[in-house]
Structure 1
């Protein structure tokens, strides 16, 4: 389920943790992971660390997967839409995935090759953040 509303990279470890928890609860020790993109690989590694016997099924191998160049910004909730349609446990589950993912990423800081690198990111604007939500929509009045 790549993406999580566009936050697949941010939430990959947390999503894998929850999925492996469900798989382990079945008491079956053999699991299959379909795909070897970011979600598939983090799920397979999480399952292996949990002591499960993992087989990955994939059409494409690295470097030919869609997420081989996966990188991104830490944006676990940047694209949540239609939250009114979500189940009552949505916020709790989303937060659990985000917290687990962030902790896992922090564990990779400082490792050889710098697999994770945190950098501050700033956005400049003439509009205060709280006013941006209430700003009038731009018009096409000047176009002719």
Structure 2
């Protein structure tokens, strides 16, 4: 074989390997961008489906816009009757983004996704009525980290 033919066959082989490994049709390297996640609708901080205050599944960001909520909060809102509201910390300050919530969860070693806090002692705790549910969630998908950075259950 001539050197040109050898080079050409190597290039074709490498190109086919690269295309099958990266799968350019799936939006490699993008998170929920063009061609990325095929999921529609909002997600909560744990990646679960989000349900509205009237039991309806939320299909997009228009829901947040309709109620004047910032898009950065995602599906992490609380319901006051039939109206979604921003969650608040123990001092009454509203969380305006999921990033603020994540910092709060990390600071107090709370499970990711907790938006209803028991503030009777002044520091946020998991409400007693939700404790067993959070224990199960954290058992299978821990979200807190120990001093070495390894994941561990928060509860």
Structure having greater relative contact order (Cα 8 Å, sep ≥ 6): 1
- Structure having the higher Rg: 2
TM class by shorter-chain length? under 0.3
TM-score, structure 2 normalization: 0.25
TM-score, structure 1 normalization: 0.26
